[in-house]
Amino acid sequence: MYMRFHEVVVAKYNAEVEVYRIASKLELFEELFKDGVMNHVKDRLEKELALAHARLADVKVPNLDWEKLGATNVALSDLYPHLLCLKVLWL
C-alpha cells in the first residue's frame, strides 16, 4: 500500500514538473517574441500546457489510513524529505 502511494506521489510530482516546464517555456516565448512573429509555436505550447494540466488533474493521490499500517505518529518529513526540500525551493 505504501509503495502504491509512493508511486502516485511521484507521478503527481512528475506531472507538476511537466506543467511548470511548459508554462516556463510559454512565458519565455512571450517575452522573446512580443510582436507575434511565431504565433504557431505559441499556439502549440498553449495546447501542450492544456494537455499537461489535464494529465495533472488525472493524478489522484489517495489518503492512507496510517492506523491500518500501524504508523499512527508518522510525520510527512519522515516519509518524503526530498519532496519537502523541493517544495521549499519552489516557494
pLDDT in tens, 26-52: 888 888 877 766 788 888 889 999 999
Amino acid 57 reads A
Report residue 46 CA to chain centroid gap. Answer: 17
The parent domain of residue 71 ranges over 2-90
The residues of the chain scoring below 70 in pLDDT are: 1, 36-37, 64-67, 69-91
Q: How many domains does the chain have?
A: 1
